[in-house]
Chains A and B, each alone.
Chain A
Amino acid sequence: MIVNPDDLSCKELVELVTDFFEDRLSPSVRARFEMHLSYCAWCRVYLAQMRETVQLAGRLSEETLPKGSKEELLRAFRDWKRERGGEP
């Protein structure tokens, strides 16, 4: 929930970035989002970094993974899930 209608915190903005990229923000929340960017240089940098990350990640496919990386990633995910108490 946005407490001040004219003010969005940096934390709130970070939580809304994905919806902003996917154009899923309501018009009023998008206005607040953009208003925050007009005075917050850090969030402008963060948004630019996220945009670049999404663009770069979007170019990757399974075939572009270096040899052995797929198994390494799957192992890391299994370990992570096990540590959280889920099924291996």
Chain B
Amino acid sequence: MIAYKFLSAGATGPFTGFRWPVPGPARPGAWVEAADGRPDHGVHACHLDDLAFWQGVELWRVELADPVVAGHRQVIGTRGRLLEHVSAWNDELARSFGEACAWRARDRSVASLHMAGLHEEAELLASCRSLSELHATSKGLSSRKGLPATLAAYVAEAIDFLLAGDSPCSTYISARAAVAASGGSESEFAAERQGQAHWLAERLGLEQARSP
């Protein structure tokens, strides 16, 4: 199965510290096997739909050997190898991604405020044309009360983290904003994460996980 895997710098596993054998010019990386055969100790990767849940420094296209089992927002194989570094995923794209998510949070907030009859606040957010303008406007609105303050605070905080260089946290906050904008429906979190993943797949030109 072809899937995707985020690693730390230098093709290093973020949780295990394992340094993956990288592909050569015309060959994939060496196969890596799970140490003790336990299914949950296998090689972890994910489908495109779940990319936004696992952001890291480097993104790799990987191959998992059968049998592959489905885990929580991940797929796990007993063996895996790196096929290709997705070099389009870099700091610049991560920043663009975070920015796109902040605008999505803005759009959801605008819709939610209109639904609640809070048209003035909705228009304030809707009229923003730049990230700095959205940042200042959402900061200002967040000092008010009620729904506008809540929704604007999410947008402002997402931009705070983005400006601090923490795109993964920024996109997480944008996904939480989707829950707030829906009135508390937790399913909106996963839905927004999926929407984020689609943005990533499109911008990175990635194909859905499939059998080779």
Contacts and interface: CB of A to CB of B under 8 A. Distances in A.
A4 B186 contact: yes
Interface residues of B, number: 22
Nearest to B76: A27
A5 B81 CA distance: 29
Interface of A is mostly: helix
Interface in A6-58: 6-7, 27-28, 30-32, 34-35, 37-41
A32 B190 CA distance: 13
Interface string B4-48: 001000000011000000000000000000000001100000000
B169 A40 contact: yes
A6 B53 contact: yes
Contacts of A35: 53-54, 72-73
Interface string B177-190: 00000000010011
Nearest to B165: A41
Contacts of B171: 39
B84 interface: no
A38 B73 contact: no
Given A4-B186, A30-B40, A38 B72 contact: no
B72 A5 contact: yes
Contact of B73 (A3, A6, A37, A40): A6
Residue of B72, B190, B193 with most chain A CB atoms under a 10 A cut-off: B72
Contacts of A5: 72
Contacts of B168: 38-39
B166 interface: yes
B99 to A, nearest CB: 16
A3 to B, nearest CB: 8
Nearest to A36: B172
B138 interface: no
A31 B14 contact: no
Interface of A: 3-7, 27-28, 30-32, 34-35, 37-41
